[in-house]
Structure 1
Amino acid sequence: MMGSNNGGGGGGGGGMTPGMGSPRAGGSDGRHDDEAVLTEFLSSLMDYSPTIPDELVEHYLGRSGFHCPDVRLTRLVAVATQKFISDVASDSLQHCKARVAAPIKDNKSKQPKDRRLVLTMDDLSKALREHGVNLKHPEYFADSPSAGMAPSTREEQN
């Protein structure tokens, strides 16, 4: 549903996006049309079940200090989050394809015959940076403090 990155900036939600890009002939008639479109859009959110469950969105909204009993607003946040994740994933894929397409200068025989794409943290970091999220990770990180130790040292600690 949100997989396409059409660049239109209007949401891309399977028929849910009201005619936001249509030009309006100013005046009070245009304002009335905007209110009607907004009302129609909000009512369509009642029938829509986003990929991200309402309970999860409510949990994180609550953790940030925002409590709203209106399920339409919760679903609007879920749709916006889904769109953001879709855009980041699409941009990461583009960075991955560009990295794989770049020729290897060392030796032509080192190029893999299997052309599967592998998403790396660098691809994800570049895509997130384009969306205003700066992601940095240390050069070395481990799941547990003993992960980088020799097996004999690990046994002594346990």
Structure 2
Amino acid sequence: MHSAPTPTPTAVPAGPPAAAHEFEMRFTSSPGGARLARRLVSHRLDAWGHLYDSAVNETVTLITAELCANAVTHGRVPGRDFHLRLSLAPEVIRVEVSDARTERQPLLTRDDSPADAESGRGLLLVEALASRWDVGTRHPAPGKTVWAEVDCPPGVV
């Protein structure tokens, strides 16, 4: 009698840490939607113990504001919302903002933005404030997800 082959374990790609708290919501792709997303992130962080006037709350809220503004300005597709996901895991807070545009990818380096450009520097702020950030494919497609993480050691509020 033949037995079924034993499955070979496959490596699981590293991703965000398991979240202790999560918040997700879709917002209209408008300045008002971006403003509401920013305010709800600040409120949620306060409810999770990172008070409104704490450095962590202010940093994550500022990153959220920039990512949402970019989704509204550069990722807007008429009739499509943007999606925000906020997660708090031990020692890291992650913000993900997804939009429906695939062809408009954010500039990933300082050298990509011309010195005389009137915009294109917002992600430099994200880069300066976040511990890590990147852009990937939105799931489900179409679109992209820009995410940023802020390290938050235990006891830091």
TM range (shorter): under 0.3
Larger Rg: 1
Structure whose residues are more often strand by fraction? 2
TM-score normalised to structure 2 length: 0.28
Structure whose residues are more often helix by fraction? 1
Greater length-normalized contact order (CA 8 Å, ≥ 6 residues apart): 2
